[in-house]
Amino acid sequence: MDPRSYDCGISTHPLLGLTIGEMLNLVSAHFPETEAVVSVHQDIRWTYRELLSRVNGLAKGLMALGVEKGDRVGIWAMNYAEWIVVQFATAKIGAIMVNINPAYRTYELEYVLKQAEIQTLIVQGRFKTSDYVGMFYEACPEAYESRPGKLNSEKFPFLKNVVFIGDITYNGMYTWPDLVKSGEKISNDELVARGEMLDFDDAINIQYTSGTTGFPKGVVLTHHSVLNNGYIIGEGMGFSEKDRLCIPVPFYHCFGMVLSNLACMTHGSTMVLPSPTFNVEDVLKTVEQERCTALHGVPTMFIAELTHPDFPNYSMQSLRTGIMAGSPCPIEVMKEVNRKMNMSEIVIVYGQTETSPGVTMTTTKDPVERRVSTVGRVFPHTELKIVDPKSGKVLPRGEIGEICARGYCVMKCYYNNPSATHATLDNNDWNHTGDLGTMDDEGYVKIVGRLKDMVIRGGENIYPREIEEFLHHHPKVADVYVIGVPDVKYGEELMAWVMPKEGVLVSEEEIKEFCQGKIAHYKIPRYVKFVTGFPMSVTGKIQKFRMREVSIQELHLEEVSHIETA
The CATH number of residue 229's host domain is 3.40.50.12780
In terms of domains, do 390 and 439 share one?
yes
Least confident residue range of 19-28, 29-38, 299-308, 390-399: 299-308
Q: Identify any residues that bridge with 358 across adjacent strands, giving them in sequence order.
A: 351
Between CA 148 and CA 507 the distance in angstroms is 60
Between CA 192 and CA 61 the distance in angstroms is 14
**Residue-wise pLDDT tens digits, 79-102:** 999 999 999 999 999 999 999 999
Q: Which residue would you say has higher pLDDT here, 365 or 207?
A: 207
Q: Answer whether residue 304 is part of any domain.
A: yes
Last residue of some domain: 418, 450, 482?
450
In terms of domains, do 356 and 312 share one?
yes
HEC sequence for 87-152: HHHHHHHCCEEEEECCCCCHHHHHHHHHHCCCCEEEECCCECCECHHHHHHHHCHHHHHCCCCCCC
Reported as type and span, the H/E element at residue 294 is strand 294-297
In terms of domains, do 88 and 189 share one?
yes
Torsion of the alpha carbons at 433, 434, 437 and 439, rounded to the nearest 10: 40
Q: Identify any residues that bridge with 206 across adjacent strands, giving them in sequence order.
A: 98, 220
pLDDT value at position 538? 62
Q: Answer whether residue 212 is part of any domain.
A: no
460 pLDDT higher than 80: no
In terms of domains, do 94 and 192 share one?
yes
Q: Which residue would you say has higher pLDDT here, 31 or 542?
A: 31
* Kind of pairing between the strands at 72-76 and 96-100: parallel
For residue 401, which of 468, 450, 354 has the smallest C-alpha distance? 450
In terms of domains, do 291 and 190 share one?
no
Distant-in-sequence contacts of 306-315, Cβ < 8 A, 24+ apart: 306/333, 306/336, 306/337, 306/340, 306/341, 307/478, 307/501, 307/502, 308/280, 308/281, 308/284, 309/502, 310/281, 310/284, 311/284, 311/340, 314/284, 314/285, 314/287, 314/288, 315/288
Task: Tell me if 123 sits within 8 A of 171, measured CB to CB.
Answer: no
pLDDT value at position 326? 75
376 pLDDT higher than 80: yes
**Residue-wise pLDDT tens digits, 133-186:** 999 999 999 999 999 999 999 999 999 999 999 999 999 999 999 999 999 999
How many independent structural domains does the chain possess? Answer: 3
Over residues 337-359, the mean pLDDT reads 95
46 CB-near residues (< 8 Å, 6+ apart) = 35, 36, 37, 38, 54, 81
Q: Answer whether residue 211 is part of any domain.
A: no
Identify the band that residue 565 occupies on the pLDDT scale cut at 50, 70 and 90.
Answer: very low
Task: Tell me if 363 sits within 8 A of 340, measured CB to CB.
Answer: no
In terms of domains, do 443 and 541 share one?
no
In terms of domains, do 297 and 351 share one?
yes
Identify the band that residue 231 occupies on the pLDDT scale cut at 50, 70 and 90.
Answer: very high
Query: How many Cβ atoms are within 10 Å of 211's Cβ, its own excluded?
Result: 11
Q: How many residues does the chain have?
A: 566
In terms of domains, do 10 and 29 share one?
no
pLDDT value at position 1? 65
pLDDT value at position 330? 79
In terms of domains, do 382 and 358 share one?
yes
In terms of domains, do 247 and 384 share one?
yes
Least confident residue range of 134-143, 209-218, 326-335, 451-460: 209-218
Task: Tell me if 153 sits within 8 A of 140, measured CB to CB.
Answer: yes
Q: Answer whether residue 208 is part of any domain.
A: no
Q: Answer whether residue 206 is part of any domain.
A: no
- CATH number, domain with residue 99: 3.40.50.980
Q: Answer whether residue 365 is part of any domain.
A: yes
Measure the CA angle with vertex 509, ends 503 and 513; round to 5°.
Answer: 110
Over residues 258-278, the mean pLDDT reads 98
Distant-in-sequence contacts of 459-468, Cβ < 8 A, 24+ apart: 460/522, 462/494, 462/522, 462/523, 463/400, 463/436, 464/494, 465/328, 466/523, 467/494, 467/496, 467/519, 467/523, 467/525, 468/328, 468/330
- CATH number, domain with residue 498: 3.30.300.30
Identify the band that residue 332 occupies on the pLDDT scale cut at 50, 70 and 90.
Answer: confident
Q: Answer whether residue 358 is part of any domain.
A: yes
Task: Tell me if 563 sits within 8 A of 486, measured CB to CB.
Answer: yes
In terms of domains, do 443 and 462 share one?
no
* Domain interval for residue 134: 20-199
Identify the band that residue 207 occupies on the pLDDT scale cut at 50, 70 and 90.
Answer: very high
Last residue of some domain: 399, 422, 450?
450
Q: By percentage, how much of the chain surpasses pLDDT 90? A: 83
Identify the band that residue 531 occupies on the pLDDT scale cut at 50, 70 and 90.
Answer: very high
Over residues 531-538, the mean pLDDT reads 87
**Residue-wise pLDDT tens digits, 96-139:** 999 999 988 898 899 999 999 999 999 999 999 999 999 999 99
| Cis status of the peptide bond prior to 357, with omega within 30 of 0 | yes
457 pLDDT higher than 90: no
Over residues 465-480, the mean pLDDT reads 93
136 CB-near residues (< 8 Å, 6+ apart) = 76, 109, 121, 123, 143, 162
Last residue of some domain: 425, 450, 475?
450
Torsion of the alpha carbons at 51, 54, 60 and 64, rounded to the nearest 10: -150
Mean pLDDT, rounded, of the chain: 94
Q: What is the pTM of this model?
A: 0.86
pLDDT value at position 415? 97
Q: Answer whether residue 209 is part of any domain.
A: no
In terms of domains, do 436 and 499 share one?
no
**Residue-wise pLDDT tens digits, 282-297:** 999 999 999 999 999 9
